[in-house]
Amino acid sequence: MSQKFDVIVIGAGPGGYVAAIKAAQLGMKTACIEKYQDKDGKMALGGTCLNVGCIPSKALLDSAWKYHEAKEGFAVHGIGVKDVTMDVPAMIARKSTIVKNLTGGIAGLFKANGVTSIEGHGKLLANKQVEVTGSDGTVTVYEAENVIIAAGSQPIDIPPAPVDQDVIVDSTGALEFQAVPKRLGVIGAGVIGLELGSVWGRLGAEVTVIEAQDKFLPTMDDQVAKEALKIFGKQGLDIRLGARLTGSEVKNGEVTVNFTDAQGEQQMTFDKLIVSVGRRPVTTNLLAVDSGVTLDERGFIYVDDICATSVPGVYAIGDVVRGPMLAHKASEEGIMVAERIAGKKNQVNYDLIPGVIYTHPEIASVGKTEQQLKGDGVAVNVGVFPFAASGRAMAANDTAGFVKIIADATTDRVLGVHVIGPSAAELVQQGAIAMEFGSSAEDLGLMVFSHPTLSEALHEAALAVSGQAIHIANRKKR
């Protein structure tokens, strides 16, 4: 007789492990299945985010920024540093240690909350049975009252640049370079491409980003995107927009790529090429034909607003379903589903999921852009405050960018907060909290913000919505 659980979660990424812990906390007998193994052949929890995504990339971004500051930014503070060097293998080893500590921490949380961890590849069968194939080929079938699918996503491959994880790498391979490439090509100017390009660019690589779209960061607010493109250009990133890759050839340890842009056929040679054109849901061998779960035309699992699939008692969350592929979105969906199973009512506010690009300066946003709102026919008032006028930013010698707040022209309710600059991710989160409670720009303007802080820029942008900013000259409101 097969073992039975109240909840079985397939996948231990930021959606899956959070769902499993929450379900166990709510008193349900819970198991979580994970197939990913680390370099030592041991099961590693945490999914893409902890192992080869969010966490390791941020570790490298911080290391690279500290190196850049020591080499280029300390002199203005009166600090003299000679012969700054970067030990790349040591940087990579530090990143790996952080990953190991965090993934091990999840194992400890599973034990503390009573979650059963099962190693192997999970596959949903009919009648909410889950088949698990271990690394040794052993097959075990488990039964569940409820199943949560959180299988995650993986990098998209493109025929013109087949990944070999040596010269041509995906986002995973780009986290393991043992030396700084002199010439680095990046295919795709999205979040991953810009972050990884920034890492190696700060360490001395000549970085060229090849982007097929004509518009830079098309989902971001136009004003933010234009500022970002200008800043990245000054930092040395050569961003080629409207450039379509047509082919590549690896020879003698380097890669020559061919692409077309407004000037016609182009060719460039790189020591390393990162392919970062997006991610796709992991649904291969995940669903038996008679499982009853359906996919949409793009290969995502079809779910409703509360992540329920077409089969009662089966849910799907995170990167395998609609919406942005973000760890925090997956985590909140995991909590929502676990609580729904337990009979509690919870709902994710999909209109207020922040997005962040961890370049320097950071880029972050929540809510709608000015272009979206105007396209929807919504009259808005806009307030912008530059970090160049922030005392705290000046003290830190980090004054690039601005805070932008968009409010409904009639109700003054905040509809969007967009930031490019220092601590953008933290400032946007303050905006998200305000928006969750329906705050107006006036509400934010009436709040007391600590001085001197970067958050004062949010306060001043809120005041600027109605032309009442103190520390900049206000634009006349029509």
- The set of catalytic residues is 451
Question: Could you tell me where the DSSP H helices lie in 236-354?
Answer: 327-341
Distance CA 474, CA 98 (A): 46
Q: Which two tokens stand for residue 255?
A: 């890669």
For residue 109, list its beta bridge partners: none
Backbone angles phi, psi at 8, to 5 degrees: -120, 130
Beta strands 314-316 and 206-210 are unpaired
Element (H, E) at 386: strand 380-386
For residue 171, list its beta bridge partners: none
The alpha carbon dihedral of 225, 230, 231, 237 has a sign of positive
Here the contacts of 171-177 (C-beta below 8 Å, separation 24 or greater) are 171/52, 171/53, 171/57, 171/196, 171/274, 171/276, 172/52, 173/274, 174/199, 174/200, 174/272, 174/274, 174/276, 175/52, 175/56, 175/57, 175/60, 175/92, 175/95, 176/92, 177/88, 177/92, 177/272
- If you count them, how many residues does the chain have? 478
CB 118 within 8 A of CB 35: no
